[in-house]
Amino acid sequence: MSLPDEQWLKSTFADLRDFAALGQGGQKIVYVATHKTDGKIVLKIIHPRTDVETVRREILAVQQVQSLRVPRILEYGKCSSNLGDCIWLREQLIDGPTVRELLAAGPMEAKSVLRLGLHILEALDKTEAAKIVHRDVKPENIMRDPTGAFWLLDYGIARHLELSSLTATGLPFGKMTLGYAPPEQCRNMKSDIDSRADLFALGVTLHECAVGNNGFFDPPPRDHLELLRRVERWVLPPVALPIADAANFQDLVNSLTQKSRVHRPRTIKAALAWLQEICAKEGVS
Amino acid sequence: MDLYLQFGYGMMDHCRVLLSSWGGGTAILSPRDLTDEQLRRLGADIAGIAGGESLLDPQFYLPHSDHKKLCKHGYWPNDYDTTMFWQGPPLAALLRHLGKLNRDVGCKRMILPGLFAAAVDEDWLETQGAVLEESRATEVELPLIATIALSAEAIKNTEQVSLLLERAEEWKADAYYLVCEHPDGQYLVEDPNWLANVLDIAAGLRFDGAEVILGYCTHQMLLAASAKVNAVASGTWMNVRSFPPTKFVTAYEDEIKQRTTWYYCPQALSEYKIPFLDIAHRLGILGLMAPPANLDGGYVAHLLSGVQPSTVGFTEQAAFRHYLHALRAQTRAIDQTTFDTAMASHQNSLDTAERLLQRLRGSNVSGQLRDFNQIVDVNRAALGLFASLRGPILKRMWNSI
């Protein structure tokens, strides 16, 4: 998808100015721009090839979740471009690095790890309450703002448990990011996917933030099939976060990353309550 | 954790005597071994003991059974059609019959019929769900205990265990009667994976808010306290200390005909034939095998009185009562204050047993197939695996399950 020219942007989005391209993927182009009343925002222009229902579900998910830890969609609509009719989204801007970018400097400090866990569980708690599974919790989809708060992004492959699935049932692999998704999601066992899938992915993410790398990638796997086998079989090494309640944190991460969802906490709320206890002792909120 | 009596051949008097001496307790009665009339009579006797309670195991594990004693009971269907039975009227009729029999026997809770699962699959899971659903609709007027009867292969299969636990979350039974076939017909199970999975199932059911009664147990299942199992059930002969499904198809009398008398040394978690007690006596170490006072019901005093054990006429009756009394005391001695204390209680008993077994085996005093020497590590491995799977959450949730 080629970048639209600035004239087209200005004429199509008259309320916006100061466009700066932020990034471009296969499915969307992302800009930072200034809105006349909302200030700095993110503008996403979705490629016309993208399935409209998938985009509609993403918008619906963010609207239903209503979490203060998830960037709001301020407005959305359709526009015509030289490539065809596109959907666009105007979102709240989170000004800060992704956790993936933070990890380039090595493991995160203990209190940041705890805060990340706490804030993302708060977002997932709302997600669970809306009967939605995010399905793509990973360092790339978490951002830290200048106040140190963490935000959960990208409900692009979220599963609405009360709506029909958009993923073909017969496919051997489900929508996911290998190395973070739990075995049941990797294997596209749709009836087994609930909020405990997000707990697994968050557990892997917390482990990575604490030690600096994703244990399933160390040493680098030969291919995606080997990585899948590791996710299904490997137990992540113990994590020793330098906090007073280190054993309890290790227990939590161990529980979150259990291969079978029956061994994970039953709900996001249960995991959140667990981490809140640890955070309270460390003065993390 | 409590011990229930698992009724087997010739246990009527054992039930009366033991429950009376304990000041109450629960016996799971066996239609295979009792006629309708005997069930009612024994049920009345148990109800007459303060704190006494009867449960009735309908033993509907293999409905094609032509076990003549089972088939004589009024609740047993004359004509069992595999496909139609579990869909409506025949099932409702079975439940009504069983409800009446349970009330006649004086049961305050009703164990539901449950098919033996060679494998946990959709058909079996559907049947389980149907039994619960129909029993709720039938209004048997008793609190319900759902039966889960599993083959050794099903228990060893972690995917089937996960599937069972997933679906059990939806059943919302108040209690489960979990009966597990031992692998390879073993009395003491040598497969730690099987053992860990039994604990895993029990813990999963407890997390669903249900009570769990583990049926057909040996003392090896004392470790079930770590999964916060509410009660284990055991009895006299081997076929009520393990769950051999075949005994519900045909008579299973071989063991009874053999009539070997075993002495249970609770601190060694092992049982010994009397000739080996003679060896211990002659080597001056029999005293090490005497039960500690807190586990001693007074049934073995003459056996360990200082004369040659084989000369004192130690009876089968005394052996059984001693076993069950000691086992009950052991179940109650486990400190279930927290997950950690429950684990430590069993670890300590394993350590104690290991030390004593080393001493006894050093003198060639062996429990042979009932010696716990090889089993100590099996239980340790099972507990270790179980702790890694369930430990952190059990620690947190212990007081709320």
Sign of the CA dihedral B325, B328, B332, B338?
Answer: positive
pLDDT of res. A1:
58
Instruction: Give tens-digit pLDDT for A105-127.
Output: 999 999 999 999 999 999 999 99
The number of folded domains in chain B is: 2
Asked if B389's CB is within 8 angstroms of A258's CB, the reply is: yes
Question: Do residues B234 and B267 share a domain?
Answer: no
Question: Do residues B205 and B304 share a domain?
Answer: no
Nearest to B162 among A235, A260, A274 (CB): A260
Question: Do residues B334 and B232 share a domain?
Answer: no
Give ipTM to 2 decimals.
0.85
**C-beta of residue B261 within 8 angstroms of C-beta of residue B274:** yes
| C-alpha distance from B169 to closest chain A C-alpha (Å) | 10
* One-letter amino acid of B231: A
Shortest CA distance from B205: residue in chain A:
A262
Rounded Cα–Cα distance for residues A13 and A7 (Å) = 10
Task: Write the secondary structure of B159-203 as one string of H (helix), E (strand) and C (coil).
Answer: HHHHHHHHHHHHHCCCEEEEEECCHHHCCCCCCHHHHHHHHHHHH
* Burial (Cβ within 10 Å: 0-12, 13-18, ≥19) of residue A160: middle
Asked if A262's CB is within 8 angstroms of B162's CB, the reply is: yes
Shortest CA distance from B164: residue in chain A:
A262
| Cβ of residue A38 closer than 8 Å to a chain B Cβ | no
Answer yes or no: is B38 within a domain. yes
Asked if B158's CB is within 8 angstroms of A260's CB, the reply is: yes
**C-beta of residue B111 within 8 angstroms of C-beta of residue B177:** yes
Rounded percentage of chain A residues whose pLDDT exceeds 70: 96
Rounded Cα–Cα distance for residues A227 and A220 (Å) = 9
Summary mean pLDDT of chain B: 93
Asked if A263's CB is within 8 angstroms of B389's CB, the reply is: yes
Of B272, B238, B262, which is closest to residue B367 (Cα–Cα)?
B272
pLDDT of res. B254:
59
> In Å, what is the CA distance from A256 to each residue of A120, A204, B69?
13, 8, 50
pLDDT of res. A54:
87
Question: Do residues B283 and B338 share a domain?
Answer: yes
Residues 6+ apart with CB under 8 A from B76: B70
Answer yes or no: is B395 within a domain. no
Rounded percentage of chain B residues whose pLDDT exceeds 90: 84
Answer yes or no: is B302 within a domain. yes
**C-beta of residue B85 within 8 angstroms of C-beta of residue B130:** no
Locate B142 and state its tokens: 């008793």
Asked if A258's CB is within 8 angstroms of B158's CB, the reply is: no
* CATH code of the domain in which B143 resides: 3.20.20.70
* Burial (Cβ within 10 Å: 0-12, 13-18, ≥19) of residue A191: exposed
Per the model's pLDDT, the better-predicted residue between A171 and A13 turns out to be: A13
Whether the pLDDT of residue A166 is over 80: the answer is no
Question: Do residues B69 and B116 share a domain?
Answer: yes
**C-beta of residue A124 within 8 angstroms of C-beta of residue A151:** no
Alpha carbons within 13 angstroms on the beta-carbon side of residue B24 total 5
Rounded percentage of chain B residues whose pLDDT exceeds 70: 96
Nearest to B392 among A192, A252, A261 (CB): A252
Rounded Cα–Cα distance for residues A131 and A108 (Å) = 31
Per the model's pLDDT, the better-predicted residue between B66 and A266 turns out to be: A266
Partners of B207 on chain A (C-beta within 8 Å) are 266
Asked which of B200, B219, B252 is the last residue of a domain, the reply is B252
Coil, strand or helix at A63: helix
pLDDT of res. A25:
74
Asked which of B252, B275, B303 is the last residue of a domain, the reply is B252
Answer yes or no: is B385 within a domain. no
Chain A residues 140-179 with a CB less than 8 Å from chain B: none
Left (φ > 0), alpha (ψ -120 to 50) or beta: where does B398 sit?
alpha
Instruction: Give tens-digit pLDDT for B301-350.
Output: 999 999 999 999 999 999 999 999 999 999 999 999 999 999 999 999 99
N- to C-terminal Cα separation, chain B: 13
Question: Do residues B273 and B355 share a domain?
Answer: yes
Answer yes or no: is B289 within a domain. yes
Asked if A254's CB is within 8 angstroms of B396's CB, the reply is: no
Locate A268 and state its tokens: 């996001």
Stated as kind and residue range, the H or E segment containing B318 is: helix B316-333
Instruction: Give tens-digit pLDDT for B3-12.
Output: 999 998 889 9
What average pLDDT does range A163-184 have in this prediction?
80
> In Å, what is the CA distance from A175 to each residue of A171, A187, A216, A234, B389?
10, 9, 18, 21, 27
Rounded Cα–Cα distance for residues A81 and B96 (Å) = 71
Instruction: Give tens-digit pLDDT for A35-84.
Output: 999 999 999 999 888 888 889 999 999 999 999 999 999 999 999 887 78
Coil, strand or helix at B3: strand
Answer yes or no: is B32 within a domain. yes
Partners of B200 on chain A (C-beta within 8 Å) are 263
Question: Do residues B187 and B284 share a domain?
Answer: no
Question: Do residues B12 and B83 share a domain?
Answer: yes
Question: Do residues B226 and B289 share a domain?
Answer: no
Question: Do residues B222 and B325 share a domain?
Answer: no
**C-beta of residue B47 within 8 angstroms of C-beta of residue B85:** no
pLDDT of res. A41:
96
Q: Which residue has the tokens 């182009």?
A: A29
Nearest to A255 among B165, B207, B393 (CB): B393
Question: Do residues B288 and B230 share a domain?
Answer: no
Rounded Cα–Cα distance for residues B236 and B7 (Å) = 8
Domain coverage including residue B348? 262-370
Answer yes or no: is B158 within a domain. yes
Whether the pLDDT of residue B255 is over 60: the answer is no
Answer yes or no: is B286 within a domain. yes
pLDDT of res. A7:
87
Of A55, A46, A44, which is closest to residue A27 (Cα–Cα)?
A46
Question: Do residues B276 and B347 share a domain?
Answer: yes
Asked which of B224, B252, B280 is the last residue of a domain, the reply is B252
Nearest to B395 among A251, A261, A262 (CB): A251
